[in-house]
Chain A
Amino acid sequence: MKLRIKFKKYGPVRFIGHLDVMRFFQKANRRAELDVAYTGGFSPHQIMSFAAPLGVGLTSNGEYMDLEVYSLTSCEDVKTRLNAVSVPGIEITSVKILPDKAGNAMASVAAAGYTVTFREGRGPHFDLAPAVERFLKKDEILITKETKKGSREINLKEGIYELKAVDGNSLYLLVDASSAGNIKPMQVVEALFAENGEPLPENALMVNREETYLRSDALELLPLDAIGYDSEEAYKAASGDAE
């Protein structure tokens, strides 16, 4: 049975990198004494998968991890147990059982929503709201993306699903987060600044990922755990229906 576990990351632990968050959960799952499924061999690994890596320094309200278990007491109990052995700043907000057919967390990611706030003294000297409006009217927004193999030009516009000024000092973005077209919030803000003739100061942004989305069969963007069940009963009932 596969669980989809949603968690928040905030406070000092925002400086823990993605791989270390994975290590953290491997140990937390043991402390919580969950009935986790393992791979075989001399160094067995827990069968787990993370949705979208969160960069060092970023906070999030919408992180996801899939975890294969042999059995569970209840979704609520898994959440309670994990929170009891967690650290301040890593907080489980929901646990759901995935339908058997669901793809893994990482492959499912289609988009992510972010709130971006400017650090003191590093915000724009232009008005955000009208600038965003002008920005979105462009047919294409070309930026150069540095990759391991060199650099290539990409059109940001295709990957920006939503962009708005929340207030004079922060933005909300909903952008492509799939492995093929992942866009970082900073790339968008940099392009917006460039458009207005301003360089983006170093470390100017505080970024909070609000939610991670999958694309449903009906092509809607839904939170990654929208497809899960709250209880084993619901899961079994649904699996039974499918048969």
Chain B
Amino acid sequence: MNEKLALSDDILMKIEKPARYIGNEVNAVVKDLNNIDVRFCMCFPDVYEIGMSHLGIQILYGMLNSWDDVWCERVYSPWVDLDAIMRKENIPLFALESQDPVKDFDFLGITIQYEMCYTNILQVLDLAKIPLLAKERGDDCPIVIGGGPCTYNPEPIADFFDIFYIGEGETQYRPLIDLYKKCREEKAGREEFLRRAAKLPGMYVPRFYETTYHEDGTIASFRPTEEGISATIRKELVTDMTDSFYPMKPVVPYIKVTQDRVVLEIQRGCIRGCRFCQAGQLYRPVRERDVEVLKKYAMEMLKNTGHEEISLSSLSSSDYSKLPELIDFLMEECNKRHINISLPSLRIDAFSLDVMSKVQDVKKSSLTFAPEAGSQRLRDVINKGLTEEVILHGSALAFEGGWTRVKLYFMLGHPTETEEDIRGIAELSNKIAATFFDTVPKEKRVNGRVQIVTSTSFFVPKPFTPFQWAPQCTKEEFVEKAYLTRKAISEQLNQKSIKYNWHEADVSVLEGVLARGDRRLSQVLLYVYNKGCFYDAWSEYFHNDVWMEAFAACGLDPDFYSHRERPLDEILPWDFLDCGVSRSFLEREWQKAKNETTSPNCKQACQGCGAARFGCGICIEPRD
């Protein structure tokens, strides 16, 4: 046992949930420092319960620790109570397993899953006593490497990272660590290691690139500053999901975390091509894992963790070709073991309703549809292949099966959205309620009613989507749209059956700015962090006024980044990255969106997006 704790008993007795900071969880890996060469600290820059729920870190943690010469540990953002104590008492941020300072490590890997965690990255670096700016770090600092979806536009945080790993983590960590060991042997120094790392596939080392700007603020040029550094960086990708590493012994936390279950990643990528969705483009092509391997993994992971629930993970589980076989197997095995099955992202049809009625309590559970837009016109614009007919038919089936609760997810602010489209949200909600009353005879209605929960979020255009050029709504426009939605719902016949939830608008606007921002935004991040902002993803700690003050102080206009339609010939901050999907495909899709024309999904017909160059997954399979 590692008896050592970085925090004193006095502190641990004083703070909320001390179990966040003591390590020693089931399946946590402890190695002997004398037997390893490289210390890697993996960070999720949010609170423990969120970070511990992330599959990507469990994969990389397992993979790095499967190598004898590497010891990978974990660190998360200390919660605000401990943060204050650590600053006051000058306690350096520590990794959970060894409780050693993060600064003593060779690598600090940070997964960057959402824009609102950017200030928490600064918090982690600051508490670790690592200079925030990469160029100020010396040989005594770990190499700070970022990964995850936000690195597909790393520019707003480029100044804080030594390396960004672009793409899926399974492929290049071994070569990177070997290079690190070689450079250390040769005493090559930090700068030289980074120079050589920049030549590995998928590695973006921001210090070797520079941006110049036009007078209007748009980018004039972006290029490497040294000979031999590549002008473009292509994403890394696992070509064979079945052969790739998957963690059989994920760490099991003591305290209840968001995802307290075995997570079985059945496939990566999505065939659908919804035009607002970044993940649907970044993880192309869709690649399935072999069903026999998945069955074996499920049993082994349940045995090794003792979790009482298993969940399938993918962007669209219904599209997995062997789903019925896998679910039959899981239902049989899990039933014997009193294990729950959770099935997110299923399309509602006869098959999924049958499965759901077997694995959950129909009376207590609810159905979820994500039409994302209220009218068929707008669903065609966003290429969401879900029709009103399908939704109403699925609802009717569900109501016959005993369900009485339906959740609906929409986004407000898609390109070309009109008042008519917004009213469609209310009308669709109303039609679903009406379907209940048409389908279920009075005497069979549980409590006599149906509950429709309609939620809207605000659309944030993301890099590498067909909407990367689209203007985002202003906060005022968003609020107006939410108001219109609420009003339209209140005018419906069945309005009493519909509950409406909406998000805060100012966070969505800021997400939009950071998602499509450039290197100059690092000034804004430093400004707000120095003013005490972090945990911006938590509404109680989000201070929009400080952010607005920061933009003004830095002479930057948030509308420039979000509220402007960008011309096709403008250099976008992320243009130097190659996510596999070609620029011309995205341009075609943007044009089709404007023409209200849909595109078939990858199983129906190849759209020539460019991902076929990876030669794997759906791109090399026969089509329907």
Chain A interface residues (CB < 8 Å from chain B): 11-13, 15-17, 20, 23-24, 26-31, 33, 38, 41-44, 56-57, 85, 87-89, 119, 202-203, 206
Residue of A nearest to B3 (CB): A11
15 contacts between A and B (CB under 8 A): A12-B22, A13-B24, A16-B254, A17-B19, A20-B19, A20-B255, A23-B254, A31-B26, A31-B303, A31-B306, A43-B340, A44-B338, A57-B12, A88-B1, A203-B14
| A113 to B373 CA separation, bound complex (whole angstroms) | 64
Shortest CB–CB separation between residue B251 and chain A, in angstroms? 11
Q: Using a CB-CB cutoff of 8 Å, which residues 1-33 of chain B contact chain A?
A: 1-3, 5, 9-10, 12-14, 18-19, 22-26
Q: Once the chains bind, are A29 and B254 in contact (CB under 8 Å)?
A: no
Shortest CB–CB separation between residue A46 and chain B, in angstroms? 8
Q: Is the contact region of chain B dominated by helix, strand, or loop, or is it mixed?
A: loop
Shortest CB–CB separation between residue A89 and chain B, in angstroms? 6
Q: Once the chains bind, are A16 and B303 in contact (CB under 8 Å)?
A: no
| A42 to B364 CA separation, bound complex (whole angstroms) | 10
Q: Once the chains bind, are B24 and A87 in contact (CB under 8 Å)?
A: yes
| A44 to B9 CA separation, bound complex (whole angstroms) | 37
The CB with the most chain B CB atoms within 10 A, among A12, A23, A31, A203, is that of A12
| A203 to B8 CA separation, bound complex (whole angstroms) | 11
Query: Which among A30, A41, A57 is the interface contact of B9 at CB below 8 angstroms?
Result: A57
A20-B254 contact, Cβ under 8 Å, with A42-B360, A56-B18, A57-B12: yes
Residue of A nearest to B362 (CB): A42
User: What A residues does B304 contact at CB under 8 A?
Assistant: 31
Chain B, 114-147, contact with A by CB distance < 8 Å: what is the 0/1 string? 0000000000000000000000000000000000
Asked whether any CB of chain A lies closer than 8 Å to the CB of B593, the reply is no
Residue of A nearest to B340 (CB): A43
Shortest CB–CB separation between residue A79 and chain B, in angstroms? 17
User: What B residues does A28 contact at CB under 8 A?
Assistant: 26, 306
User: What A residues does B10 contact at CB under 8 A?
Assistant: 202-203
- 7 tightest Cβ-Cβ pairs between the two chains A and B: A88-B1, A27-B306, A30-B306, A42-B361, A31-B306, A15-B18, A12-B22
User: What B residues does A87 contact at CB under 8 A?
Assistant: 24-26
Known A42-B364, A57-B9; 9 more pairs at CB < 8 Å: A15-B22, A16-B19, A16-B255, A27-B307, A28-B26, A30-B307, A31-B304, A42-B340, A119-B9
The CB with the most chain A CB atoms within 10 A, among B1, B23, B304, is that of B1
Residue of A nearest to B7 (CB): A15
A12-B2 contact, Cβ under 8 Å, with A23-B254, A88-B24: yes
Asked whether any CB of chain A lies closer than 8 Å to the CB of B252, the reply is yes
| A43 to B24 CA separation, bound complex (whole angstroms) | 28
Shortest CB–CB separation between residue B497 and chain A, in angstroms? 25
A11-B19 contact, Cβ under 8 Å, with A27-B306, A44-B338: no
A56-B303 contact, Cβ under 8 Å, with A30-B337, A42-B360, A87-B25: no
Q: Once the chains bind, are B26 and A27 in contact (CB under 8 Å)?
A: yes
Q: Once the chains bind, are B24 and A89 in contact (CB under 8 Å)?
A: yes
User: What B residues does A17 contact at CB under 8 A?
Assistant: 19, 255
User: What A residues does B252 contact at CB under 8 A?
Assistant: 27
